[in-house]
């Protein structure tokens, strides 16, 4: 089959495959009926995160914030607490900010016009298209990581998809392939095919509806396509973290809304060159290395998208405060950590104390 024929037959073949083999029991499927809130929530959570990881977070989040107005009225700490462990916390902050913007500007109703959706924090072209397709049945192209992988392999598109010229080529192809009907099944089919069959590491080509026509499969180029991001050395940073304990409570600091772990509660940090006792003193606490506590806790690495962070925790016992507590700090009982908005490595450190 030539490329023109494949483009013409791509959508109906994908829709037929999705209806028979695709995913139909995901918790955010089947109940939209024009209510974009569950669709929007799931699409934001699914950005750079696998379905299996998202499902329990989605269910807990929806149980606490069942509709858009409830989310808008919630405290940011409560929202981030429900997101804790899911990563990429700017998604949660943007979701919360967008909910408040929708209440202020759209009367609490999720907008239907694409320009108004794109004006919301944290929503780009592909996410907006997915929301309108699933919630409102609109005919719009999506292009997330799974879709890029499917299209580059089936149609043999060379180059790293993150490069602007390659991405523009993929967007043009995605627009051409759109069907005039069955847009929801088609959109879901693209996601399902990329997530369950056309996998990054071990594609299951024998289960693919395009196996006989896929250029990557026919030419044995599954490992080459899509092309990998050009290699760059991963920068490394290091930090010390103070675990200051007093009467079964630990000191936490609120991080700025921008940067890593924005808006979350974290352990106070100090530089490698600074003595941990001096760091505690700088924060306004007289602390000691206690005989019953290990002072230097095991160090470990935590990897972000763009750098690797080496963390060295120190555990100290606070004997007394040297000054009044500053805003943005709190003492939290070790028994109350489960619902707190904590970064994953901080939660790991504190879990060891319990």
DSSP state of 223: T
Give the Cα-Cα-Cα angle 53, 54, 55 (nearest 5 degrees): 100
DSSP state of 196: I
Give the Cα-Cα-Cα angle 302, 308, 312 (nearest 5 degrees): 55
Is 43 in the active site? Answer: yes
Q: Check: CB of residue 170 under 8 Å from CB of residue 143.
A: yes
Q: Check: CB of residue 227 under 8 Å from CB of residue 158.
A: yes
Q: Check: CB of residue 297 under 8 Å from CB of residue 240.
A: no
Percentages (nearest 5) of helix, strand, coil residues in the chain = 45, 15, 40
Residues 6+ apart with CB under 8 A from 344: 84, 85, 87, 302
Give the Cα-Cα-Cα angle 97, 98, 102 (nearest 5 degrees): 120
Closest C-alpha among 267, 264, 244, 246 to residue 256: 264
Is 326 exposed, middle or buried, given 0-12, 13-18 or 19+ CB atoms closer than 10 A?
A: exposed
Q: Check: CB of residue 140 under 8 Å from CB of residue 60.
A: no
Exactly one of 43, 175, 236, 296 is catalytic; name it.
Answer: 43
Residues tagged active-site = 43
């Amino acid at each position: 089959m030539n490329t023109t024929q494949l483009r013409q037959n791509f959508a109906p073949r994908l829709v037929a495959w999705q209806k028979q083999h695709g995913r139909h029991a995901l918790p955010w499927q089947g109940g939209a009926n024009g209510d974009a809130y569950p669709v929007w929530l799931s699409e934001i959570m699914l950005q750079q995160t696998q379905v299996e990881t998202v499902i329990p977070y989605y269910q807990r989040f929806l149980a606490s914030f069942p509709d858009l107005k409830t989310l808008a009225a919630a405290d940011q700490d409560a929202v981030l607490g429900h997101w804790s462990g899911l990563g990429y916390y700017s998604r949660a902050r943007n979701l919360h900010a967008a909910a408040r913007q929708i209440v202020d500007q759209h009367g609490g109703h999720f907008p239907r016009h694409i320009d108004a959706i794109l004006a919301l924090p944290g929503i780009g072209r592909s996410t907006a298209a997915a929301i309108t397709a699933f919630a409102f049945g609109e005919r719009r192209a999506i292009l997330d990581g799974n879709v890029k992988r499917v299209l580059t392999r089936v149609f043999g598109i060379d180059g790293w998809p993150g490069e602007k010229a390659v991405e523009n080529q993929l967007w043009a192809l995605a627009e051409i392939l759109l069907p005039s009907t069955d847009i929801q099944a088609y959109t879901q089919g693209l996601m399902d095919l990329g997530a369950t069959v056309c996998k990054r590491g071990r594609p299951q080509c024998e289960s693919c509806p395009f196996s006989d026509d896929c250029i990557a499969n026919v030419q044995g180029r599954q490992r080459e396509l899509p092309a990998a991001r050009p290699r760059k050395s991963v920068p490394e940073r290091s930090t010390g973290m103070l675990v200051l304990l007093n009467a079964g409570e630990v000191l936490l600091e609120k991080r700025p809304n921008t940067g890593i772990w924005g808006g979350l509660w974290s352990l106070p940090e100090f530089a490698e060159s600074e003595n941990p006792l001096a760091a505690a003193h700088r924060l306004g606490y007289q602390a000691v290395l206690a005989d019953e506590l290990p002072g230097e806790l095991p160090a470990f690495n935590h990897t972000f998208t763009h750098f690797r962070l080496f963390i060295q925790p120190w555990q100290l016992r606070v004997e007394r405060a040297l000054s009044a507590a500053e805003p943005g700090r709190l003492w939290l009982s070790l028994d109350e950590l489960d619902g707190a908005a904590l970064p994953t490595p901080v939660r790991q450190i504190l879990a060891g104390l319990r």
